[in-house]
Structure 1
Amino acid sequence: MSWSITLILAYRLSMVATAAFILSRTPALGRILSRQLTPRDKLLLTIALGGMGIIGTYAAIPINDALANSRVVGVMVAGLLGGPVVGAGAGLIAGIHRYLLGGFTAFSCALAAVLEGILGGLVQHYYRRGPIPWFIALVAGLAGETLQIVIILLTAHPFSEAWALVKIIGLPMIIVNSIGVAIFMVIVKTAAEQRERIAACQAQQALRIATQTLSFLRHGLNRESAEQTARIIYNSVKLAAVAITNDREILAHVGMGSDHHHPGNPFLTSATLKALFTGEVQVAQKRDEIGCQEKNCRLASAVVVPLKRREVTIGTLKLYHDRENSITPVELELARGLAHLFSTQLELAEVESEARLRAQAELKALQAQVHPHFLFNALNTIVSLVRSKPEKARELLIKLASFLRYSLRKDDAPIPLAEELAHVDTYLAIERTRYGDKLKVALMADPAALNCPVPAFTLQPVVENAIKHGLQPKREGGSIKILARSYPGEVIVTIEDNGVGISPEELDKILLPGYGRGHGLGLSIVNERLKALYGPEYALKIISIPGQGTKVTLRFPQENSYQEVKGDALYSCCG
């Protein structure tokens, strides 16, 4: 009798597999296994698995005014997946139903259902390493069914009938139902792992496509970048066609339908217009849902995903099939992932474009720092030397021309440090002629530092600031020391003067963007350029003591290999 009951219960475990399969297809599966259930998820899980417990009761085998059943499977699984509250709730639903059916074991089975649900929940609560594995589910099922047998023996009356019943149904229910709990958890866990593998493949494919398209979308959304991007997707995914649009026209169409979906033409499909208007994904599983104006268009199903930049829809990505009802959930998620990555790339392209424009504007602002008074004073100095020292005047005129030519450059590409130092030296040569003995200059640099690439107009504004605001206010003048040294991984340039210094109040504000007309403007622009190019750790460092002078430190990442330079390898020019 026991073995026949075992076989019948085993046959009826098919409903366990069915329930597990249904649960594995629900969107909430990921939240269930990651233990991030919402209150709504918990309520639905309680009702569903409590209902499964009721079905297990109805599928029972009547024996001696009692039931050999698989009710414990739904109740235990509720606890193992949702925790003690969900397990207790499912057990209460199944238990009340069993109690209402009557019989001398009604109360015992109802109580056991609630306690089994709580037991499963406690296992879930104390097992912190992820989803419950099958062998722990098996042990939990064995413990739960054993608990039910013990409760029947303790609470069912008369005891003789309870004992007779347990001898018949005890072992079959313990074995079959514990296996049922384990099977349920295996199916759910396997489905989740398969879903994760599919998601990983989608992510890998999307990232591979995004990597290939990065160099094209870096230039923004235009016909050329759209054509290259659409072709990469078409060659990577089995599709009938791929198209990309902006918010006005078709930019690219690769594959079937390219004979009438021409780049530059207005949109031909209503699905595209709807995606642009709503900013939401549109899935068209039939030709009439695509809404192509060409009657003989062979494209039969499509997913249209909006491309966005800063939450504003600027275009669409469209994936087509030539058969209806061919857009699968996998392709839908792939399209969403690609659109998200492309949107991010387009935002980065806009940021890069803005950064280039800002850098050009900052360069022009630094060029504008060449004060008209400097030109006027330089020309006056040259004129005063024309008769007394014509060769000196000629030399200064050449230096002034070189200085102006450098100042008017439009290219903001990095230049060797040697070139920037030469520009500074030209500027200082003109200023030394004006100030005479009141301006002393020492410029020293490691030969290993001279090839380091630096942004143009980073040193001269700092030197000009030192002369204009540090030394010029001093009647007796002063000196400037410029030192460029090469270190592992970087070059450090210091510009130090012994001028009037900067007050602590002024020093706190001097690098704020746009601060002041004198100290702040040139220094703040240089500071912002360095941070934008190399990062905040490369900001200017300024140390100043009122009445004693100021020291400004600039750091540049060294791309060349570091070479040890001896102290006598420095060059210097003094005046």
Structure 2
Amino acid sequence: MIFDLLITLLQNMSVIAVFAYLLSRTEIFKKVVYEQSSPRIKIFLIIFFGLLSALGTYLGVYIFGAYANIRAIGAVVAGLLGGPIVGLTTGLIGGLHRYTLGGFTAFACAVGTTSSGLTAGLVRKYRSFKQINAKFAFGLGILIMVIEMIYVLFLSESFVDAQRLVKVIALPMILNNALGIAIFINILKTTKNEEEKVRALQSQKALEIANRTLPHLREGLNYDSAAKAAATILSMTDIKAVSITNRNEVLAHKGLAEDHHQPGEKIITEATKRAIADRELAVIDKRTDIGCPVKGCELASAVVVPLKFDEELIGTLKFYKDNESSINDVDIELATGVANLLSTQIKIAHLEQAAQLTTQAELKALQAQIHPHFLFNALNTIISFCRTNPSEARRLLIKLSHFFRKTLKEGKKMVSLAEELEHVKNYIAIEKARFGDDLQMKIKVKDELLNLHLPSFILQPLVENAVRHGISPKSGIGIVEIIAKEKNNEVEIIIKDNGMGIEEGQLTEILKEGRGKGTGIGLTNVNSRLQKIYGNDYGLKIDSQLGIETKILVTIPQQDIEGGKA
């Protein structure tokens, strides 16, 4: 009898297993796997597994005035998915249903089923669904069913009848319920794993698309970049057509209906307008909702995803298919992933452009910072030479004009070391006219390094800083040296002076914004520009001994020789 009962329950349990497998293929079950904490999903779990628990009674076998059943499967699986409240409520539904059927075990079975759901829910509270596998579920099922058999023994109306019943039904019920719970959990875990694989593949595809579209979107979102991005997306997916818009018009359309969906057209589909207005994803399932005025247009369904930049909507990405209602979750997932990555790329392009503009603005600010004292002193020196040495005055005027032409004009971003040194020489020539032999300049640079490319207007501000703050306040002969040498695939340029030096406490503060002498823009600006171009490791390095000397180190990657990086 026990063996026959075991086989019968196993057959009936297989019905639930098949039912579970078929349901696992539906979209609602995929939501169950990923949205277990959602109130809407919890209500679904209670209703579905409550009915399944009641069905477990009907799929049982009537024996000795009671039911050998598989009712616990629904209650336990509900608890493992939804937690204590879901498990308790589901168990209560199955238990109350069993109680209405009567019999000497009615109360014991009702308590047992309710307890089973609650126990599974408490397990779920302290153990994530990721940690629950088929093996664990089988073991838990055995434990829960053993407890339920104890309830039957001690809560039934007749202990003698209950004892006779349990001897027959215990093994078949324990094994079949535990096996059913394990199979159900395994089906759900398999569904989740398959879904995660699909999502992983879509994420990988989205990243590949982003990687290929990145070079095109560096210039921002326009007709040309949108066309290249749309063509790339189309070639890497099974989507029939791809469209990219801004807020008002189509920027690019590739694929089906390309002959009449042209860039520059105003947006005509209501779904796209709604997605732009609501700033939310929209799915179009009908050809009529596409709204194409051309008769026979092949576009039948679409998903429209907003493109955003800092929460501001800048356009949309649209995926089209040629059959109505054919946009599925995979398409939506891919479109959303690609749209998010495109939005990020557009933001990066914008930030890069902003950084370039900032760097250019800083350069202009530095170029425009002609210290009044230098200008006045230079002019006064030239005026004095006009009386005593007109030819020297003429030479200084030429030097001054060259200096200001270099300083004030819209210069190149990168120049050769030779050009930068020429600018420094013009500056020193003007200052030397004022200081005379008390200012000397030494340049130690090998000829092969003169083609090194470095940012424009880097050395002169450092030399001017040495003259103004190092040499000018000090009596005696002041010497400024510029030394360039190769070291570890880099070129080190040292600006050295034998002036007043810098106090140790100021060394850590001098490169901070606004902390330098005067406005602080000179050293700070040069340091900032070097770091933005080459990285934080390439900022200025300052070493100074008070009253003895100051050294400023500029490091340039050696690949910039012969115009490499420039």
**1:257 corresponds to which residue?**
257
**Pairs aligned (count):** 557
**Which residue of structure 1 aligns with residue 164 of structure 2?**
164
Greater Cα offset, 254-263 or 339-348: 254-263
User: Which deviates further from its counterpart, 222-231 or 534-543?
Assistant: 534-543
1:96-135 equivalences in 2 (<5 Å):
96-117=96-117, 119-121=119-121, 124=124, 130-135=130-135
- Taking a change above 3 Å as real, the CA distance of residues 413 and 137 of structure 1, as seen in their structure-2 partners, is same
Query: 2:97 and 2:554 mapped to 1: Cα distance?
Result: 79
Within 2, Cα distance between the matches of 1:28 and 1:427? 75
* Cα offset, 1:132, TM superposition: 1.9
**In structure 2, C-alpha distance between the alignment counterparts of 1:255 and 1:529, rounded to whole Å:** 45
SS at match of 1:258: coil
The amino acid that maps onto 1:94 is G
Residue deviations 1:240-294 (CA, integer Å, cap 9, x gap): 3222222232222222323322222222333332222222222111122112233
User: How far apart are the structure 1 equivalents of 2:451 and 2:85?
Assistant: 70
Cα distance between partner residues in 2 of 1:306 and 1:437: 69
Q: Describe the SS at the equivalent of 1:130.
A: helix
Give the TM-score of the pair, scaled to structure 2. Answer: 0.84
Q: How high is the sequence identity, in percent, across the aligned residues? A: 46
Q: Does 1:29 align with 2:33?
A: yes
Residues 41 and 252 of structure 1: CA distance in aligned 2, closer, same or farther (over 3 Å): closer
CA shift at 1:478, angstroms? 3.5
Q: Quick check: 2:20–2:187 contact (8 Å CA) kept in 1? A: no
**For the Cα contact (< 8 Å) 2:108–2:151, is it kept in 1?**
yes
Residues 268 and 258 of structure 1, relative CA distance in 2, 3 Å threshold: farther
CA deviation digits over 1:422-444, x for unaligned, max 9?
A: 54344334433431232244544
In 2, distance between residues paired with 1:83 and 1:452? 68
Contact 1:76 1:181 in 2 (8 A): yes
Q: Partners in 2 of 1:324 and 1:232 — Cα distance? A: 24
> Does residue 348 in structure 1 map to residue 348 in structure 2?
yes
Q: Give the Cα–Cα distance (whole angstroms) in 2 for the partners of residues 528 and 204 of structure 1.
A: 37
Matched letter for residue 203 of structure 1: S
C-alpha distance in 2 between matches for 1:483 and 1:209:
48
8 A contact 1:443–1:483 mirrored in 2: yes
Q: Which moved more, 1:54-63 or 1:445-454?
A: 445-454
The two structures have a TM-score, normalised by structure 1, of 0.83
Residue pair 1:470, 1:501 contacting (<8 A) in 2 also: yes
Q: How does 1:46-445 map to 2 (within 5 A)?
A: 48-83=48-83, 86-117=86-117, 119-121=119-121, 124=124, 130-371=130-371, 374=374, 378=378, 403-404=403-404, 406-407=406-407, 410=410, 412-417=412-417, 419-444=419-444
The whole-number CA distance in structure 1 between the counterparts of 2:472 and 2:22 is 84
Query: Partner residue of 1:565?
Result: none
Task: Measure, in 2, the Cα distance between the counterparts of 1:549 and 1:272.
Answer: 68
- Label 1:553 to 1:450 Cα distance change in 2 as closer, same or farther (>3 A): same
- Worse-superposed segment, 291-300 or 221-230: 291-300
**More moved, 334-343 vs 427-436:** 427-436
Residues of 2 paired with 1:190 and 1:49: CA distance?
19
Residue 124 to residue 284, structure 1, CA distance change in 2 (3 Å): closer
> 1:518 and 2:505 equivalent?
no
Alignment deviations for residues 541-566 of structure 1 (CA, whole Å, 9 cap, x no partner): 556677666554444455489xxxxx
* Amino acid of the structure 1 residue aligned with 2:298: R
Q: Answer whether contact 1:73 1:181 (CA < 8 A) is retained.
A: yes
Q: Distance in 1 between matches of 2:427 and 2:505?
A: 30
Greater displacement, 65-74 / 366-375: 366-375
What's the secondary structure of 1:308's corresponding residue? strand
Structure 1: unaligned runs, 5 residues or longer = 562-575
- Change in 2 beyond 3 A, CA 1:73/1:381: same
Deviation (angstroms), 1:184: 0.4
Deviations 1:335-371 (A, max 9, x none): 1111111111111111111111112212222222344
Alpha-carbon deviation of 1:208? 1.4
User: How far did 1:192 drift?
Assistant: 0.5
Shift of 1:144: 2.4
Give distance in 2, aligned partners of 1:488 and 1:340. Answer: 41
Q: State the AA in 1 paired with 2:135.
A: F
**CA deviation string 1:454-503 (max 9, x = no partner):** 32222221221222233323354634344545443655544444544567
Q: Quick check: 73-82 or 539-548, which moved more?
A: 539-548
Q: How far apart in 2 are the matches of 1:206 and 1:524?
A: 41
Give, in whole Å, the separation in 2 of the partners of 1:51 and 1:448: 86
Task: Tell me the residue number matched to 2:5.
Answer: 5
Shift of 1:224: 0.9
Contact 1:490 1:555 in 2 (8 A): yes
Q: Does the CA-based 8 Å contact 1:465-1:519 persist in structure 2? A: no
Q: Distance in 1 between matches of 2:428 and 2:315?
A: 54
Structure 2 letter corresponding to 1:201: L
Aligned AA (1:18): F
Deviations 1:144-192 (A, max 9, x none): 2233224423443533322221233222212222211111011101111
Alignment of 1:447-462 (within 5 A): 453-462=453-462
Which residue does the alignment assign to 1:534?
Answer: 534
Deviations for 1:40-76, whole angstroms, at most 9, x for unmatched residues?
A: 7666645654453233234332222211111221222
Going from structure 1 to structure 2, the CA distance change for 1:45 and 1:480 (only over 3 Å counts) comes to farther
Letter matched to residue 312 of structure 2: V
Distance 2:41 2:150 in 1: 33
Q: 2:524 is matched by which residue type in structure 1?
A: S
Whole-angstrom distance in 1 between the partners of 2:449 and 2:40? 65
State the secondary structure of the residue aligned to 1:338: helix
The 3 A distance-change label for structure 1 pair 90 and 193 is same
Alignment of 1:470-549 (within 5 A): 470-476=470-476, 478-484=478-484, 486-488=486-488, 490-500=490-500, 510-513=510-513, 518-542=518-542
1:82/1:25 CA distance change after superposition, 3 Å: closer
Please state whether the residue corresponding to 2:258 is helix, strand or coil: coil
In 2: Cα distance, 1:136 partner to 1:465 partner: 74
Q: What is the identity, as a one-letter code, of the residue corresponding to 2:69? A: N
Go from structure 1 to structure 2 and tell me whether the alpha carbon gap of 1:373 and 1:468 turns closer, same or farther (over 3 Å shift): same
1:199, distance to aligned residue in structure 2 (A): 0.7
Distance in 2 of aligned mates of 1:344 and 1:412: 30
Cα gap change, 1:82 to 1:302, in 2 (>3 Å)? closer
Assess, with a 3 A threshold, how the Cα gap between structure 1 residues 461 and 431 changes in structure 2: closer, same or farther: same
Q: 1:324 to 1:456 in 2, by over 3 A?
A: same
In the alignment, which residue of structure 1 is the partner of 2:564? none
Partner-residue secondary structure (3-state), 2:469: helix
- For 1:489 and 1:430, locate their aligned partners in 2 and report how far apart those are by CA, in whole Å: 35
Alignment partners' CA distance in 1, 2:166 and 2:450: 93
Conservation of the 8 A alpha-carbon contact between 1:414 and 1:456: yes
* Alpha-carbon distance in 1 for matches of 2:164, 2:268: 77
Equivalent pair of 2:257/2:298 in contact (CA under 8 Å): yes
Deviation at 1:121, TM superposition (A): 4.9
Deviation at 1:115, TM superposition (A): 4.2
| C-alpha distance in 2 between matches for 1:8 and 1:149 | 19
Go from structure 1 to structure 2 and tell me whether the alpha carbon gap of 1:38 and 1:552 turns closer, same or farther (over 3 Å shift).
farther
Counterparts in 2 of 1:544 and 1:200: CA distance versus 1, 3 Å: same
The change in CA–CA distance for 1:92 and 1:491 in structure 2 (over 3 A counts) is farther
Contact 1:496 1:551 in 2 (8 A): yes
Deviates more, 1:193-202 or 1:547-556: 547-556
Deviation, 1:120, is 3.7
Relative to structure 1, is the Cα distance of residues 43 and 445 closer, same or farther in structure 2, using a 3 angstrom cutoff?
farther
- 1:513/1:528 contact within 8 Å kept: no
* Map of 1:569 onto structure 2: none
